[in-house]
Amino acid sequence: MTTDARFELTAFWRSSATFRVRVALNLKGLTAHEHIVNLDAGEQRSEAALKLNPMGAVPALIEPGHAPITQSLAILEFLDEAQPLPPLLPADRHGRARVRAIAGMLVADTHPLVTPRIRKYLTTTGGFDDAAWRAWQIQWFGTGIAALEQRLAGEAGTGTFCHGDVPTMADICLASVVAVMRVFKISVDGTPTVDRIIAACDAHEAFAKAAPSRQVGAPA
């Protein structure tokens, strides 16, 4: 563990994408100095925040002297290249593809559908009331987690974690989505493999330390 942070990170306590980066930093024994961007207060659309991330989102990872890096998967790949041990991807090409595909099911096909900007649009322009928004959340969290359960339960690559017996990018992305589901009190039934892997993540210090409830700004 370094004592001086090598990176700066824009962050929010509840942010699923920030969670991913926190876990990766923890796994690699790296630290980042966090700059809180309050998504509930709309700070992500301030001029300063948009300069770091034109999508109006967190996180951005900043290595002093370099441009900010946005997009959680790009940050995870960057950290894996910057400090290869312990690796976030398996060594073999087909295993790497499997891990990246699982990550994509969560980070591309699931999480973008339930972000604050989508909530804002649907509950204003879209005419959704609270119940319709909650049904939307349940629909897309549920679809993603159920599809993932089908893969994990049926594929030989699954081990203690999503791929083998050490955490990879796939587990980081899965735990990041489940962390947000917990904040919003959404659960999916009938997914024993996902549940078992999440229990393994919960028991891992690198994941536990990244829990939203343990971050600066979380409700007491």
Closest distance to its own copies from the beta carbon of 72 (Å): 8
Considering only 30, 36, 113, 138, the residue that binds its own copies (CB under 8 A) is 113
Alpha carbon distance, N-terminus to C-terminus of the chain: 28
Stretch that binds its own copies, among 95-103, 179-187, 196-204, 209-217 (CB under 8 A): 95-103
Residue with tokens 């992305």: 173
Considering only 32, 37, 58, 105, the residue that binds its own copies (CB under 8 A) is 105
What separation in angstroms does the CA of 166 have from each of 44, 163, 170, 171? 34, 7, 11, 9
Closest distance to its own copies from the beta carbon of 147 (Å): 4
What distance in Å separates the CA atoms of residue 31 and residue 216, rounded to the nearest whole number? Answer: 15
What separation in angstroms does the CA of 51 have from each of 58, 160, 179, 216? 12, 41, 28, 23
Q: Does 27 bind its own copies (CB under 8 A)?
A: no
Strand pairing of 60-62 and 32-36? Answer: unpaired
Q: Does 66 bind its own copies (CB under 8 A)?
A: yes
Q: Does 135 bind its own copies (CB under 8 A)?
A: yes
Q: Does 121 bind its own copies (CB under 8 A)?
A: yes
Task: Tell me whether residue 55 or residue 218 sits nearer to its own copies (CB atom).
Answer: 55
CB 21 within 8 A of CB 68: no
What distance in Å separates the CA atoms of residue 65 and residue 132, rounded to the nearest whole number? Answer: 45
Instruction: Give contact residues for its own copies (rule: CB under 8 A).
Output: 54-57, 63, 66-67, 69-75, 77-78, 81-82, 93-94, 96-98, 100-101, 103-105, 107-109, 111-113, 117-118, 121-122, 125-128, 132, 135-136, 139, 143-144, 147-148, 150-151, 155, 157
